Every structure is written in structure tokens, then in C-alpha cells.
Amino acid sequence: MTARETLLRDYRAAFLRYLSRREESALHSGYQLGRGALADGRSMLEVVQVHHDVLADVLRDSPAAEVPLTARLASDFLVEVLASYDMARRGPDP
């Protein structure tokens, strides 16, 4: 399994868990996933592509009435995933 396939698998599992539970602990899984991806040298662009691939699959199987909520939750999840990248870019606080 390639690093991207592993990221895709883990991202899908964490995102689906967040969609079904909408709990802080499930959202925290996204944060942890982002930290791990950053530590493993995955680029932000690769993470965003994985997010898009997972979201497209989820939306394909979602009833039309659920799409707006799913899109909002996907945005919340992606922000958590990318938080580590934002912190790394900003650097330490003075």
C-alpha cells in the first residue's frame, strides 16, 4: 500500500466517523490525521486532494437533501486536518 493509499484509507475512516457522530473526539481525529500527514512529509496539496476524493465519494452516495450539511461538515473537518499545516507555516509565537 502506498503512502497516499494509506492516507486515503485513514482519511476516509476518520471523516466518516465524524459525519456519523459529529463529536469533538471524531473531529479531533481529523486534527491528529493532519499532524501525522505533516510529520510524514505529505504536502498540503496532497491532503486537500485526498479530502476532495473522499468527499466526492461520500456525496455520490448521499441523498440530495443531505448534501448541504455534508458539505458544511466536510469544511469543518478539513479545517481541523489543516490546522497543523497552518501552525507550521506560522511558526512559533514570539
- Kindly report the average pLDDT of the chain as a whole number: 94
**Model pTM greater than 0.85?**
yes
What domains sit in the chain, N to C, each tagged with a CATH number? 3-90 (1.10.1240)
pLDDT at residue 80, rounded to an integer: 96
pLDDT at residue 91, rounded to an integer: 72
| Radius of gyration from C-alpha coordinates of the chain | 13
Residues 6+ apart with CB under 8 A from 70: 19, 55, 58, 59, 62
Give the pLDDT confidence of 11-56 residue by residue, as tens digits. Answer: 999 999 999 999 999 999 999 999 999 999 999 999 999 999 999 9
